[in-house]
């Protein structure tokens, strides 16, 4: 059986609001604001909003500040 993969459909664990908030170390209200402002993507499955770890990691990369002297 042939398996199809693409970067846009790569499987990533899905997290709940609370799990996503814990992952980013912010409040669930902050997650809600980030979704509302379009800063992080989410998946809506049967009325339940979930977050891919890959999307949360991308948000972290996009907002990282270079360190060092």
pLDDT digits (tens, 9 = 90+) for 5-59: 444 556 789 999 999 999 999 999 999 999 999 999 999 999 999 999 999 999 9
In total, the chain counts a number of residues equal to: 69
Q: Which residue has the higher pLDDT, 67 or 5?
A: 67
pLDDT digits (tens, 9 = 90+) for 26-35: 999 999 999 9
Rounded CA gap, 60 and 45, in Å? Answer: 24
Predicted confidence at residue 10, as pLDDT, reads 62
Predicted confidence at residue 45, as pLDDT, reads 95
Domain ranges of the chain: 14-62
Q: How many CB atoms lie within 10 A of CB 59?
A: 17
């Amino acid at each position: 059986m042939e398996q199809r993969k693409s970067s846009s459909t790569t499987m990533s664990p899905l997290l709940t609001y609370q799990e996503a908030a814990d992952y980013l170390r912010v409040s669930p209200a902050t997650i809600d604001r980030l979704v509302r402002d379009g800063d992080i993507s989410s998946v809506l499955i049967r009325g339940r909003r979930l977050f891919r770890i890959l999307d949360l990691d991308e948000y972290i990369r996009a907002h990282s500040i270079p360190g060092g002297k």
